[in-house]
Structure 1
Amino acid sequence: MATTVTSIEDQIKKLRKRGMDLDWKESKIKEILLDIGYYRLGFYWHPFEINSNHDFVEGTKFSTVIDLYYLDVDLRYLLIKYINRLELNFRTNLTYWVSMHYDDNAIWYTDTKIMAPEYLKDIKSHYNKNFKKKNIQISKHHIKYPKDIYAPCWKTFEYYTFGSIVKVFEHITDQSIRKEISLKYAIEKPEKLQNFLNTLVFVRNSCAHSGVIFDLHIDKGVSGVPGVKFNNNYSHSLDAGIKALLYLMENISSNRTNELEKKLVALFDKFAENDMIKEIIENKLGYSYP
């Protein structure tokens, strides 16, 4: 285990010794190593390593590593924008349709007759003094209505994360309500919508926390997307998650779906002539060029 701090100069020597073509001026390479970091960039030159000594495949260029890094950055920004669009739509649909079903119960998300016990056992620890204090509309509600233990769902859910909203959907016990919401996205089985949403929460969180996503592995895999074939029949790649996102978006806004598709194609086409990165896009990310 390496425990010694390595200077920028020594980092550059290591890369050169391992066979990387340092095809930029050393001053620029130093600037990038100080900006992004040697360890962080290691995730992006790892695909080009050929052995346990971390030697690089012949022809590996520093510029190629940086291209892969910025592909990852641009893809994160792109995906999180459209996942946020989905999040807003799903929150609205969940709040509206369940509330219409239980129109006399504004805090149905706390009701033992509506929500599964495993969800309810955690709600008090989530909806606590800190939650009420830091979220202004919730705070105002409890000042105005001091006897209320909880605020109505349409107020509360505005302060829930995407993952928390998806958890609410997961733990609604009446399957007919879950199916009603699923059908809004042209999905027959609630379990399939749940799978899509869980996948996109995972992708969204990876993007939001600057995770490396070009080789993202979706552990449980994506359930079959209606009318869509996964590349190489592999459902665990980021591309499979993107296909789930596109399917759900199509049932929200065809304009936004077309917009996302065009932006994805434009992003990947930037690297169509770069064999090293193209191979990663196809084999790691799972995208298939036309």
Structure 2
Amino acid sequence: MHYNKQSISLPQQIQQLKSRGLCITDESAAEHHLRNISYYRLAGYWWPMQSDKVNHVFKPNSRFEDVIALYSFDSDLRLLVFKAIERIEIGLRTRMINHLSQEIDPWWFENQAIFTDQKAFTTNLSSLDRELRKSREVFIQEHFKKYHADHRRPPAWKSLEVASFGLLSKRYGNLKPGIKSKDTIASELGTVNHTFLKSWLQSISQIRNICAHHSRLWNKNLPGRPKLMANPPLLWVLNSPHVLKHHQLYVHLCCMKYLLDAISPGHRFPRRLKHLFQPYRTVDQNALGFPAQWQADPFWQ
């Protein structure tokens, strides 16, 4: 079967949506939005509004204005989440640099003997090399100029500053279990040991990529499955087995908030998350996995 749909103009897109039951009261405003946000990108937000997803028929009272509101909410949500992940990334990077450089040496990330998966070690080191080659950071460029006779990469406190969060999480996860710093870092972040932290970092890294590429985060079936602790040493959500759905965003936000409690005490993530929903009263919080009365949970106070 070959794909044979052809491109249609903005006015035709509007008429197609209206013919399918989407209420558009201001066609000029709708055309403006469709000129700046592609039809297919918006489709992810009106998809739940359709009663017939084969013929794309909308439920009664579905409005284009609600689609745009949901799109705007998702944009604000991504910014909030991305900011939270930034702090987690910096906290993780700093601990990896400090602890492993002290336990092993400043070039521990080049040491194949301390990593479990040798293929992943080689792949990740190649990724780091690409980041180092394209880096415009003065401290990287000056290092290569000054120490050109040293064929090692810059030490961890320089090299890992240009490593992505995804690369850091893979490097951490691939460390051998016998490396003391692996559990030390996990303990400092309140996750008891490396088996829990590894799964959390993998999930958060995937969400970071969604945010960085401006993809839809609302109502997303997330691939990551963070491994949850039976008795977390820090404050955790009440009745978590009953309220947490691993494919939805809420459990990942709980993990982020938990890590922020360890990394940045006094942070304002809960307050900002609550304020995020205030201008968007029509947003279905259940589509993100939020349980009823989540704001009353002591974890979010």
TM-score between the two structures when normalised by the length of structure 1: 0.90
Aligned to 1:266: 275
Matched to 1:243, the amino acid is C
1:9 Cα shift? 1.0
Gaps of 5+ in 2: 294-301
CA shift digits 1:19-38 (9 cap, x unpaired): 11113x21111111101121
Aligned to 1:110: 110
Report if aligned partners of 2:85, 2:204 keep a CA contact under 8 Å in 1: yes
Runs of 4+ in 1 over 6 A off after TM superposition: none
Report if aligned partners of 2:128, 2:163 keep a CA contact under 8 Å in 1: no
Report if aligned partners of 2:244, 2:289 keep a CA contact under 8 Å in 1: no
Gaps of 5+ in 1: none
Aligned to 1:153: 156
Give the Cα separation in 1 of the matches to 2:205 and 2:135. 23
Change (3 A) 1:191 1:172: same
1:5 match: secondary structure = coil
Give the Cα separation in 1 of the matches to 2:292 and 2:29. 32
Give the Cα separation in 1 of the matches to 2:256 and 2:130. 35
Report if aligned partners of 1:138, 1:156 keep a CA contact under 8 Å in 2: yes
CA shift digits 1:230-284 (9 cap, x unpaired): 564412211111111001001112321xx11111112223334x3xx32xx21x2
Aligned to 2:203: 199
Change (3 A) 1:28 1:127: closer
Aligned to 2:62: 60
Aligned to 2:299: none
Aligned residues: 279
Aligned to 2:36: 35
1:123 Cα shift? 5.0
Give the RMSD, CA atoms, in angstroms: 1.9
Matched to 1:210, the amino acid is H
TM-score between the two structures when normalised by the length of structure 2: 0.87
Change (3 A) 1:231 1:44: farther
Change (3 A) 1:127 1:237: closer
CA shift digits 1:109-144 (9 cap, x unpaired): 111332332343225533547733534322221211
Give the Cα separation in 2 of the matches to 1:132 and 1:65. 42
Report if aligned partners of 1:231, 1:286 keep a CA contact under 8 Å in 2: no
| Stretch deviating more after TM superposition (86-95 or 261-270) | 261-270
Aligned to 1:222: 226
CA shift digits 1:176-227 (9 cap, x unpaired): 3211110001111201001111111011110010111112223242222533
Give the percent of matched residue pairs that are identical in Structure 1 and Structure 2: 27
Matched to 1:190, the amino acid is H
Q: Do structure 1's residue 179 and structure 2's residue 179 form an aligned pair?
A: no
Give the Cα separation in 2 of the matches to 1:141 and 1:254. 35
Matched to 2:113, the amino acid is K
1:101 Cα shift? 1.1
Aligned to 1:83: 85
